[in-house]
Structure 1
């Protein structure tokens, strides 16, 4: 996928590192993460904020499969957000994690907490993808939009792998007769998936 040029510094930037930013809600600019952070720091008065670039790290899950995580560190109003994610080409995919903190927090302390969360997640499998069935009574994952279905159906990402809504329904037949209650987080994820991609919130 072609890289966009940051409208502030002019550097070509991969899609996962570009932010659609608006100060007034009318005009938008594509900014790379460092330029976005510098702009937010100026607007919010966090003049001591330091842009940090974190190198990717490789971790192995409980089946021995390696996963490479990239990071994006950004200032969002009065908080900082640290994202960790895998890439398929230039797009985010697979496992994705997020941690929030205060602007004066030590980014490397936050990174340590996030890496520990990743490690815990990679230590558990929820789906047997060879047998195409749920391993236990609990499934944890992420809900996205299925672009192959024009965004009309959810797409479930479990154990870092995409599972179509139809496939997930088939897997649930292995526990037919049981009862389940969707958690508030599940309902919220469905709502967010239905809303589709959203622009950076205005300050």
Structure 2
């Protein structure tokens, strides 16, 4: 990616500042999360993506015009990550039989869809930084039988209300 970005920066006549490659942010439970930052310059935008260091964890992104101040864009990425980590959507517990369960708090979920290498027919849903299969998400949603549902797809760099 670094070589590609160098070529694109030269082609577009823009500076390619050195940005931090990683940063740490605390989640809603006070757990420190380590993010790796990827910078990608395209013909129409600069995209910064923060991915948690382990496979299929939290992921956040921001984008801007090619002439955007990339240090400000990095600051926006950190702020978006902090906002994204500040709320959780799932709660776990145990039934009286000691069997564990996971349920949806406050009647809504936010997450990211990811490729499931174990089952290419359905995606994984990354919620609260953890991967869930489509079957697991379906079981969590069973409690909402009879409810209406709204699913909104947004680009990773867009804000999700």
Aligned length: 149
Distance 1:160 1:102 in 2: 29
Map of 1:146 onto structure 2: 116
2:53 to 66, 87, 91: 87
TM-superposition CA deviations, 1:131-158 (whole Å, max 9, x none): 3111121100011121111x11111000
Counterpart for residue 21 of structure 2: 55
- SS of the residue 1:109 aligns to: helix
Partner of 2:143: 174
Gaps of 5+ in 2: 94-100, 157-161
**Could you say if the C-alpha distance between residues 115 and 127 of structure 1 is closer, same or farther in structure 2, counting changes exceeding 3 Å?**
same
Task: Decide whether aligned partners of structure 1 residues 114 and 53 sit closer, same or farther in structure 2, where only a CA change above 3 A counts.
Answer: closer
Q: Counterparts of 1:147 and 1:68 in 2: how far apart (Å)?
A: 23
Per-residue CA deviations over 1:155-198 (Å, capped at 9, x if unaligned) read 10001100111111000012222121322x17x89xxxxxxxxx
Distance of 1:171 and 1:48 partners within structure 2: 47
Identify the match of residue 136 of structure 1 among 101, 106, 111.
106
Write out aligned runs for 1:1-203 (5 A). Answer: 33-42=1-10, 45-88=11-54, 92-130=55-93, 131-149=101-119, 151-183=120-152, 185=153
Shift of 1:51: 4.5
TM-score for both structures, normalised by structure 1: 0.67
Give the ranges of 4+ consecutive aligned residues of structure 1 lying more than 6 Å apart after TM superposition.
none
* 1:70–1:84 CA contact under 8 A, matched in 2: yes
TM-aligned CA deviation for residue 119 of structure 1:
0.8
CA distance in 2, matches of 1:152, 1:40: 35
